Structure 1
């Protein structure tokens, strides 16, 4: 087997032999999986992502807990007998013996219950915002994957075009060798570039599987839908436009409700009890002559914060410290969000500049190819020079596809930081 054929067998993705690993990648992509037609369909599917559904359930749980916090505890009903003699149990021989039925209701102080309910309501609002941000974050990830998928498909097409140019270039070089020109070294250069091209294709195929797996993880289907047009959102300079800051502020609200609950704990809890008692008439035996009668007992209980120094006061100080900690965390979130926004904005601007440079280079190579073609048709220069220039231009086009996908991904990620109106 010739060296060039051996390299074709091992490296070239464009000849009839394909390495086993690449064949596995190709077969993976041929599985019959339903494709979504529009990005709107993908967004609807994204709403059912387990991470978002879990947050919606958590929100519901918090709202139900808020309602439960306002409710009273269940009353306690008791039925029993009192003062029954052990030696001769009976209800008509001993004056204090009687039957009783009672009810007792605890009344925790309303201010504390209202504060705990408010904390759960605010927690529900936090979880609702978390679900919203999770959707926006997953949407940005989906846009990034779709843009990357498009870029990878473009790169595969460009690699195929490069292989055609390599074949043309090899024929031209061999004809130059047959004409006696010392160009044998160029054949080795072409083989090396083909090997590099094969490596690039293997990497692209692997990336396609990774991207497809990421899309299916998000929406449970393969999708060939192009990424939507994405422009960088305008930021008005307010820190509260960032999701991270709003979430931190929600945590401050929850901690402040905790402070209110700790303050309310100084107030008394109440309790009410009522007991109905029934005594039977005495049997008339000596010492057992008494009339039967019914009566009731009622009482009101109240807690007194005698041990507040060891109980309520430390809890209040802890709640205030927690609220202060949450305020500092909000400041941290604002600084981190602002830094990330600035970094992403700078990368987007740099990507746009780089794309502009690549387009200028591609345009300049168009002019150069046109000039070289005119010279070649006039009998000046070599056709191999035109092919080399076209191959270089294809490489720039591949770089441009990669950079476009990167710019879309960066923009989607940056937009996911902001709460849109």
Structure 2
């Protein structure tokens, strides 16, 4: 259960997301409207972000660190102490609280006086943890938007492939009818009928496989959006540009959410090192006690001051500080190495994405039109008796194969686009990027 302090914060931070989720879920879950409203990529991403429990967990982690930052800045709780000093255990005064002048009933309070600099450093350490949680939240949002975009695009292209396969199946059925008619008229052979039926079986098998991909893609999209409806998809987004400044890629990627998380981890390590250095200065402890003796004797007050004796500082406090400083350097090295890897991987993806755009353009401009023209030429030759039905079937299969290859290439290119375009959250990238397709910038 949330504390009375954490609950209002969690409610405030989730209010907007709940409002968005409620509106979108109501709109798309209603059968009367869902069938007519296409689901855009942006709407799918909004639903996925609103549906994520991981984001709520990270917000609560930030809340926990905020609360601990306040607690860490306070003095330790005072210690109430009570006891009996110098109680006789033998002789005629055994067990008496009033007979011996040294016997005292004592009550006191002890307070550790932690320096304000240490308390500030402890609070700052949790403040750094808050920043890390928020960086992790940003990284999670980017990952959700990226994975949702990939799932949306996978379903979009799978459905387009299924439409082409269905068109090919209808055409194959017509070819069987044509082959049977030609055979009955004495113009064709029985082998042509078998060839047409074999082609239909191959088309049906391909269509079944594509339908499996469609179902899988719908399951994955529903996993992100939280919807279990057969929503149609809106038109594909433009994949010809990405929100990255290719002229300053290294600089842009220093703001990548995963790099930001490692930067925040470095800041936490630095705060731990500063705290370890501050711990070389011991904390004082003050104790004040009131001591009551028998009625014949005076009561007393005692004041004690304690100070830890760091007699082996070089093997304790100095070693601890060296350990924390080494962890700072470790965090920096891991961050820099991860940044190098991100830059290299991103450059490779950009090259592959740009190559995919170029090849897709070639398919649309040259290969698909040529395959269609070849099919029309073979069809004309078949009708004129200058080509056989198997030749026509092979030509049509080639045209469909080319169209499916073009779609698969577009799907692969779109996946790369999604990975590049959503390296950063879609609503927080403006300061570090702009749309670019400049290949020479690399």
1:210 maps to what in 2?
216
Secondary structure, in 3 states, of the residue corresponding to 1:65?
helix
Deviation of 1:38 (Å)? 5.1
Secondary structure, in 3 states, of the residue corresponding to 2:99?
coil
Could you tell me which of 131, 146, 151 is aligned with 2:157? 151
2:243 maps to what in 1?
233
Deviation of 1:381 (Å)? 5.0
Deviation of 1:140 (Å)? 1.1
Deviation of 1:128 (Å)? 1.0
Using the TM superposition, name which of 401-410 and 108-117 deviates more. 108-117
Q: For 1:98 and 1:65, how far apart are their aligned partners in 2? A: 41
Deviation of 1:150 (Å)? 1.5
Deviation of 1:368 (Å)? 4.8
The size of the alignment, in residue pairs, is 380
Contact 1:151 1:401 in 2 (8 A): yes
Q: In the TM superposition, what are the counterparts of 1:54-133 in structure 2 within 5 Å? A: 54-86=57-89, 87-133=93-139
Using the TM superposition, name which of 182-191 and 235-244 deviates more. 182-191
2:416 maps to what in 1?
410
Using the TM superposition, name which of 68-77 and 362-371 deviates more. 362-371
Contact 1:60 1:124 in 2 (8 A): yes
Contact 1:255 1:322 in 2 (8 A): yes
TM-score w.r.t. length of structure 1: 0.80
Q: For 1:418 and 1:201, how far apart are their aligned partners in 2? A: 37
Secondary structure, in 3 states, of the residue corresponding to 2:315?
coil
Q: In the TM superposition, what are the counterparts of 1:275-286 in structure 2 within 5 Å? A: 275-282=289-296
Contact 2:262 2:331 in 1 (8 A): yes
Deviation of 1:320 (Å)? 1.4
Secondary structure, in 3 states, of the residue corresponding to 1:293?
coil
Deviation of 1:389 (Å)? 4.6
2:197 maps to what in 1?
191
After superposition, the Cα gap between the structure-2 partners of 1:99 and 1:60, relative to the gap in structure 1 and judged at 3 Å, is: same
Is residue 43 of structure 1 aligned with residue 45 of structure 2?
Answer: yes
> Deviations for 1:54-74, whole angstroms, at most 9, x for unmatched residues?
222222222222222212221
Is residue 256 of structure 1 aligned with residue 259 of structure 2?
Answer: no
CA RMSD between the two structures = 3.0
Q: For 2:189 and 2:86, how far apart are their aligned partners in 1? A: 120
Q: For 1:371 and 1:189, how far apart are their aligned partners in 2? A: 20
Secondary structure, in 3 states, of the residue corresponding to 2:401?
helix
Deviation of 1:275 (Å)? 0.7
Contact 2:45 2:144 in 1 (8 A): no
Contact 1:232 1:414 in 2 (8 A): yes
Q: In the TM superposition, what are the counterparts of 1:12-27 in structure 2 within 5 Å? A: none
Q: Which runs of 5+ in 2 are unaligned?
A: 1-30, 431-442
> Which of these two proteins has the greater Rg computed from alpha carbons?
1
Deviation of 1:316 (Å)? 1.3
Using the TM superposition, name which of 365-374 and 187-196 deviates more. 365-374
Using the TM superposition, name which of 129-138 and 233-242 deviates more. 233-242
1:267 maps to what in 2?
281
Contact 1:337 1:417 in 2 (8 A): no
Deviation of 1:162 (Å)? 0.7
Is residue 364 of structure 1 aligned with residue 370 of structure 2?
Answer: yes
Could you tell me which of 154, 172, 177 is aligned with 1:171? 177
After superposition, the Cα gap between the structure-2 partners of 1:317 and 1:71, relative to the gap in structure 1 and judged at 3 Å, is: same
Contact 1:140 1:416 in 2 (8 A): yes
1:335 maps to what in 2?
340
Secondary structure, in 3 states, of the residue corresponding to 1:73?
coil
Contact 1:72 1:108 in 2 (8 A): yes
Q: For 1:62 and 1:198, how far apart are their aligned partners in 2? A: 58
